Amino acid sequence: MNDSFHVYDTTLRDGAQQEGLALSVADKLVIARQLDGLGVGFIEGGWPGAIPKDTEFFERARTELDLKHAQLAAFGMTRRADLAAADDPQVAALRDSLAPVVTLVAKAHDRHVELALRTTLDECLAMVRDTVEHLVSEGRRVFVDAEHFFNGYQDNPAYALEFVRTAAEAGASLVALCDTNGGMLPSELGDVVHTVIERTGARVGIHCHDDSGCAVANSLIAIEAGATHVQGAANGYGERTGNANLFTIVANLQLKKNLHVVPDDSLAEMTRIAHAISEVTNIAPHTKQPYVGFSAFAHKAGIHASAVKADPMLYQHIDPEVVGNDMRMLVSEMAGRASIELKGRELGYDLSGDRDALSRITEKVKVLEAQGHSFEAADASFELLILDELKGEESQRFFDVESWRVIVEQRQDGSHMSEATVKLHARGERIISVGEGNGPVNALDTALRNAIGQIYPELAELELRDYKVRILEGDHGSSSRTRVLVTTTDGRDEWATVGVQENIVAASWNAIVEAVTYGLLKLEG
């Protein structure tokens, strides 16, 4: 992408401040790949040097991340007061992360400099100048986040403007004006952005929070006023009410402001990416999220029904397909045949020639999703479902399960024991096997491998990578269901499978059986 306008994602840093969100390094790598798939320009990976997990992220990113669109940015503070930038270990950690971009945060509100930083305004400006100059001389591109800029501008506009000038003159590519408390409203914010650009001539970005419910609008208004760099987080994650929702901003810019900020074909991946990230964060997707929410194009029948039939665009602000979402009629049986066909094509199956199979698959997906399956995050399970329909269930059955049992025990000394037995049939044999593990799922997995490992030695290559559980609310008084997502790897690729059952162990077993089946298909094929 060209450099004239930046989509800068801060999910992994500021978004991770959301209550209930805790990302491992592996989670961060997965999310970074998804964001790169969307085509964002920059991914802020975290704060190396301050947070050990983030230091590790940048290390692993060098070998494990192969980004196509995005550049990584390391976030951190300017040098401490009364210390040379080159001697500050925190600044060194930013440099040593080897991220091509460093985003420095510093206080643009005089009260914060005095109360929180406990230094003078002059020293704070010197900290900005020195750190920017040092990192630029080390070959890094430097962005500056002007923290609390808008409150600062209200209280002391001279200092706030001087802050922007100082950063720009020291060599920062741009200064992102931050509404850190998230309390701004659009008109007031737009006026300030306009004035800052006029008075300083600096390149300006915008970073909003949603405390007034205006984060997206504030970002758009800032861009109209001349900002050419916008920060936000996937799904609007972030502290308190969240950061500006990057997905909503990108879709608004691309579809309504004629700003080409991500590739068009990436935009059609947005819904899938939003949901895939939800699965990694294990935070239930917000169904009403603009553009990508499950309900975003759901029409309740009634006054709208006939008009929607005549022309869906009468009741939709955009065609949902351009963001990879679907229109849903909440009473009728209209369904996502088109998206299933698209998804099949993506996995290498042309369903367009077989309308019957397409209908059967669509119907099956609808039934299973209604029961709580989530194929968006479980491509492998979806592919097995397609194969069931196209080739028959038998073609992919490597074993038939008769029964299984797990015992988990806490002994008197406080230690734990998990033991599983599995009874199954494979290649005409009846096999009984036992497995131990550090938990019931691990024990079952071991027992399954013990049972069929000799018949299918390639099983040894498969490894359970991740395991996620979500309890789904029961509707209409039925008891709740458990959804388990399992990620498996053969050392080269990863695939995800899903299991849904009332019983968490049974749901896990189903996901593991699909994971192993898919792995065997893949390794044998």
Question: Which of positions 313-342 make contact with its own copies (CB under 8 A)?
Answer: 314-318, 330, 332, 334
DSSP lists the bridge partners of residue 146 as 106, 177
Q: By CB under 8 A, what part of segment 231-250 binds its own copies?
A: 236, 239-242, 245, 248-249
Q: Output 199 or 240, the one with its CB closest to its own copies.
A: 240
Collapsed DSSP state (helix, strand, coil) of residue 2: coil
Q: Which is nearer to its own copies, 353 or 476 (CB)?
A: 476
48 sits near its own copies (criterion: CB under 8 A):
no
- CB closer to its own copies out of 71 and 282: 282
Letter string b/e over residues 405-437, b meaning 16 or more CB atoms within 10 A of that residue's CB: ebeeeeeeeeeeebbbbbebebeeeebebebeb
Contacting residues for 491 by C-beta, under 8 A, at least 6 apart: 461, 463
Q: Please give the radius of gyration of the chain, using alpha carbons only, rounded to the nearest integer.
A: 26
> Residue 440 interacts with its own copies (CB under 8 A)?
yes
Judged by CB under 8 A, which of 84, 301, 338, 367 binds its own copies? 301
The answer for residues whose C-beta is within 8 angstroms of residue 480's C-beta and 6 or more apart is 471, 472, 473, 474, 502
* Cβ atoms of 176 and 205 closer than 8 Å: yes
* Shortest distance in whole angstroms from residue 139 CB to its own copies: 27
**Spatial distance between the Cα atoms of 508 and 419, rounded to a whole number of angstroms:** 15
Tokens 């978004």 sit on residue: 15
Q: Phi, psi at residue 137, to the nearest 5°? A: -65, -20
Q: Does 24 bind its own copies (CB under 8 A)?
A: yes
Measured from the CB atom, the residue of 260 and 405 that comes closer to its own copies is 405
Contact 171, 141 (CB under 8 A): no
Considering only residues 71 to 110 of the shown chain, the ones binding its own copies according to CB under 8 A are none
**For its own copies, which residue of 157, 171, 263, 439 counts as binding (CB under 8 A)?**
439
| By the rule CB under 8 A, 135 interacts with its own copies | no
Choose the stretch contacting its own copies; rule: CB under 8 A; options: 30-38, 57-65, 78-86, 312-320: 312-320
**Binding to its own copies in span 381-410, by CB under 8 A:** 401-410
In the complex, what is the shortest distance from the CB of residue 418 to its own copies, in angstroms, rounded to a whole number?
6
Of 178-186, 348-356, 359-367, 385-393, the window that binds its own copies (rule: CB under 8 A) is 178-186
CB 509 within 8 A of CB 440: no
Least distance (Å) between residue 26 CB and its own copies: 6
Q: Can you say whether residue 101 is alpha, beta or left, with left for phi > 0 and alpha for psi between -120 and 50 degrees?
A: beta
Q: How far, in whole angstroms, is CA 316 from its chain's centroid?
A: 26
- Give the one residue of 25, 73, 126, 498 binding its own copies; rule: CB under 8 A: 25
Length of the chain, in residues: 525
Residue pair 234/274 in contact (Cβ under 8 Å)? The answer is: yes
The yes or no reply on residue 5 touching its own copies (CB under 8 A) is: no
Tell me the closest approach of the beta carbon of residue 333 to its own copies, in angstroms: 9
Which residue in 68, 89, 100, 111 binds its own copies (CB under 8 A)? Answer: 111
Q: How many residues bind its own copies (CB under 8 A)?
A: 108
Residue among 128, 196, 198, 190 at smallest CA distance from 161: 196
CA distance 299 to 430: 52
Q: Between residue 179 and residue 198, which ones bind its own copies under the rule CB under 8 A?
A: 180-183, 185-187
Q: Tell me whether residue 390 or residue 464 sits nearer to its own copies (CB atom).
A: 464
Binders of its own copies among residues 459 to 518 (CB under 8 A) are: 466-473, 479, 482, 501-506, 509
Find the shortest distance in angstroms from Cβ 122 to its own copies.
21
Taking CB under 8 A as the binding criterion, the range among 92-100, 161-169, 170-178, 207-215 that sits at the site for its own copies is 207-215
Closest Cα partner for 176 from 124, 122, 222, 111? Answer: 222
